[in-house]
Amino acid sequence: MSRAQALYKLWSEHPYFDASTHAELRAIQDQPDEIEDRFYCDLAFGTAGLRGILGAGTNRMNRYTVARAADGMARAIASRGKKSRDRGIVIAYDSRHFSEQFAWISARIFVGHNIRVRLFDALRPVPVLSFAIRYYGASGGIMITASHNPARYNGFKAYGEDGSQLPPDEADAVVAFMDQLPDITALTWPDEAEARASGLLEIIGEELDQAYQAMLLTLAINPDAAKRHRDMKIVYTPLHGSGNKPVRRVLAALGFRQVLVVPEQELPDGAFPTVAMPNPEERSALSLAIGLAEREGADLVIATDPDADRTGLCVRTRDGSYMVLSGNQIGLLLADYILSARKNSQTMPDKPFVVTTIVSTKLMRKVSAHYDVTLYECLTGFKYIGELIKEKDENGDMHYLFGFEESYGYLAGTQVRDKDAVVTSMLIAEMAAVARDSGQTLYDRLQDLYRRFGYAAEKTISLAMEGKTGLERIRYGMARLRRELAGAFPGLPIRQIADYAGRVRHNLADGTREALALPQSDVLLYELDGLDWFCVRPSGTEPKIKLYFGCYADQAADSESCLSMLLDQVAARIQAVLDEDAS
């Protein structure tokens, strides 16, 4: 009997598992491929914690896999001693199916390990959790969410004491404790009544919300502009998620009086009934918001994903239509706004720095150089931006101003250490008000930015590879690309290849190699002429491979032409490599 079959038999028959689990598994008893996919492995706990499809099985998100992860994290904290247990943990959750249940199970497990728990009284966003960890001086935190994934997903994000997602070494420690419990049926936890009676469980709410908002308002750059344009119409959609109250609250506090919320998407709903996927970067997810903006003549549309760590933006163009901005375009606008305001007001701190990722726009190199601000490019994942804030600002003599990644994540300020769609929404609205002072829209500011720094054509595409076979195809494809180097893409003017798994850069002109300083990661980045580049990276949270592209020129048409050629050539070659393995 295979591992998958043995575990399927255990989960479908053992009295430890509840009746709904038994029924769900009996319903697939004649589906060997489905059984294999659910049980061939444990849902991996990585540096982003757990994320997966909801359902019964070791490779699914359910009360038992969540309990195992919470138990491993609790043991890791308990192993540090009484001080860490007393500092405790903060737990939050979003609007997804079973999020509240998973949060309560996690809380009860931590109480069972004699660890103090602060649990939010209702759904909250990622940035509020990150802020709360630092506000309370907690040992860590948990956010139950699957971010912008489809409704059938949920996840368990694990955070360290600095408010960032766990770094690799701490995540490995949690995994080691999880592996000490090979038999899930040995895991038990107190019931809710016992947890409440323990004295270790505290329900938190309004006090923390007020402290978070007070912190946000200190990050406003030009609050007077918001008051001058208090009647500027802003359409906002939380996409059925946790951003509704905090975003509306901070915009009102700043002075905006015409924030129009999409009624069909206002209330929390884990089914996300109005969208195929609650992803604020997709125009289809914003169709209701754009329709409302068109009817009301709004200046902009702001959207946040279910856990309010990502921010989408649509701006009105000269002909009255609405353009959905890319994550890079939003990041460039905000960076230019923040840095120019600092320069013009003579409030630029000593040794300022900003951060992007290696797969974000290379125009940021020109923007940061223009303002004489140091730019750091880190690996994908906001925890790396958080680590730089800790190293360079909190423990160093530099001053962090702004950070972003192309996947619609942004952060100003240092009291949150993950993507913050609430402060981003506030700064976007304020930036639009400042643009109005000059008779501009945010679209006008973007075009002005391109005229000053050059035009960018950038795109990210994903090739989905579902299940065990898909993961094997991705591993094969990455290994082959490493073997072939530039030979994998004949005809392209590749100058250098940065292999972050091997932590080496290959200089193709002279055949030399140099070490890379960033941590190990399964990423291949190809540098072409000028600033042009493309990158191949398996997703860290979903079974897919991601391709990133950037082309830059003095004229928009030239950058677009370059992108079209590069994308077609690279995507076709990657797909051929993956298909060859499948055959």
pLDDT tens-digit readout, 436-473: 999 999 999 999 999 999 999 999 999 887 767 778 88
By CB atoms closer than 10 A (0-12, 13-18, 19+), residue 98 is middle
- With beta carbons less than 8 A apart as the criterion, state whether 292 and 260 touch: yes
Kindly give, in sequence order, each residue whose CB lies less than 8 Å from that of residue 373, ignoring residues fewer than 6 positions away.
339, 348, 352, 353, 354, 401
| Beta bridge partner(s), residue 143 | 92, 157
Predicted confidence (pLDDT) at residue 573 exceeds the cutoff of 70: yes
Q: Which comes out higher in pLDDT, residue 363 or 575?
A: 363
Q: Which pLDDT value is given to residue 543?
A: 72
Cβ neighbours of residue 394 closer than 8 Å, sequence gap 6 or more = 162, 414
Residue 42 to residues 58, 102, 179, 542: CA-CA distances in angstroms?
5, 18, 10, 15
Q: Stretch 223-243: mean pLDDT, rounded?
A: 97
Q: What is the mean pLDDT of the chain?
A: 95
Tens-digit pLDDT profile for residues 380-431: 989 999 999 999 999 999 999 999 999 999 999 999 999 999 999 999 999 9
- Compute the distance between CA of residue 421 and CA of residue 425 in angstroms, rounded to an integer: 6
Give the per-residue pLDDT at 541. 60
* Residue 577 banded pLDDT, cuts 50, 70, 90: confident
CATH topology of domain 212-453: Alpha-D-Glucose-1,6-Bisphosphate; Chain A, domain 3 (3.40.120)
Q: What residue type is 122 in one-letter code? A: A
d(CA 583, CA 579): 6
Looking at residues 167-178, what average pLDDT do you find?
92
The per-residue pLDDT for range 510-557, each reduced to its tens digit, is 999 999 999 999 999 999 999 999 999 998 666 789 999 999 999 999
pLDDT tens digits for 322-341?
999 999 999 999 999 999 99
3 state DSSP class of 398 = coil
Q: Give buried/exposed letters for 138-152 (b at 16+ CB in 10 A, else e).
A: bbbbbbbbbbbbebe
Q: What is the dihedral of CA 154, 289, 363, 532, to 10 degrees?
A: 70
What is the distance between the alpha carbons of residues 162 and 85, in angstroms, rounded to a whole number? Answer: 16
User: What pLDDT does 383 receive?
Assistant: 92
> Using CA atoms, how far apart are residues 35 and 386, in angstroms rounded to an integer?
39
| pLDDT for res 449 | 98
DSSP assignment of 122-136:
S---HHHHHHHHHHH
| Residue 328 burial (10 A CB sphere; 0-12, 13-18, 19+) | buried
**Position 48 confidence tier, pLDDT thresholds 50, 70, 90:** confident
Cβ atoms of 502 and 514 closer than 8 Å: no
Same CATH fold assignment for domains 41-204 and 456-582: no
For the segment 10-24, the average pLDDT, to the nearest whole number, is 97
Annotation says 147 is catalytic = yes
Measured in degrees and rounded to the nearest 5, phi and psi for residue 135 equal -60, -40
Catalytic residue among 147, 164, 360, 521: 147
Helices (H) and strands (E) in the chain, counts: 20, 22
Other beta carbons within 10 angstroms of residue 560's beta carbon come to: 15
User: Are 419 and 164 in contact, with CB atoms under 8 Å apart?
Assistant: no
456-582, which class in CATH?
A: alpha beta
Confidence of residue 102 (pLDDT cuts 50, 70, 90): very high
Could you tell me the two tokens for 514? 């140099």
- Please say if the pLDDT value at position 281 is more than 80: yes
CATH code for the domain defined by 41-204 = 3.40.120.10
Q: How far is CA 564 from the centre of its chain?
A: 27
Cα(530)–Cα(363) distance, integer angstroms: 11
pLDDT value of residue 22: 98
CB 242 within 8 A of CB 125: yes
Q: Which residues contact 475 (CB under 8 A, 6 or more apart)?
A: none
SS3 category, 468: helix
pTM for the whole structure: 0.95
Answer whether residue 583 shows pLDDT above 70.
Answer: no
Distances (CA, A) of 441 to 42, 175, 258, 314, 513: 50, 49, 17, 11, 47
Structure tokens that stand for 356 in this block: 């992007």
* Edge-to-edge strand list for the sheet holding 234-237: 259-261, 234-237, 300-304, 311-316, 322-324
pLDDT score, position 371: 98
* Residue 186 amino acid letter: A
Residue 3 identity: R
Minimal CA–CA distance to 286: which of 266, 262, 308, 307? 262
How many Å apart are CA 400 and CA 386, to the nearest integer?
A: 10
Compute CA distances 71 → 105, 153, 181, 189, 267, whole Å.
Answer: 10, 21, 9, 9, 32
Report percent pLDDT > 70 for the chain.
99
Supply 414's token pair: 């240092």
Residue 509: its pLDDT value, please?
A: 87
What is the model's pLDDT at position 542? Answer: 66
Residue ranges of domains in the chain: 1-34, 41-204, 212-453, 456-582
pLDDT (0 to 100) of residue 348: 96
Q: For the residues 81-104, what does the mean pLDDT come to?
A: 98
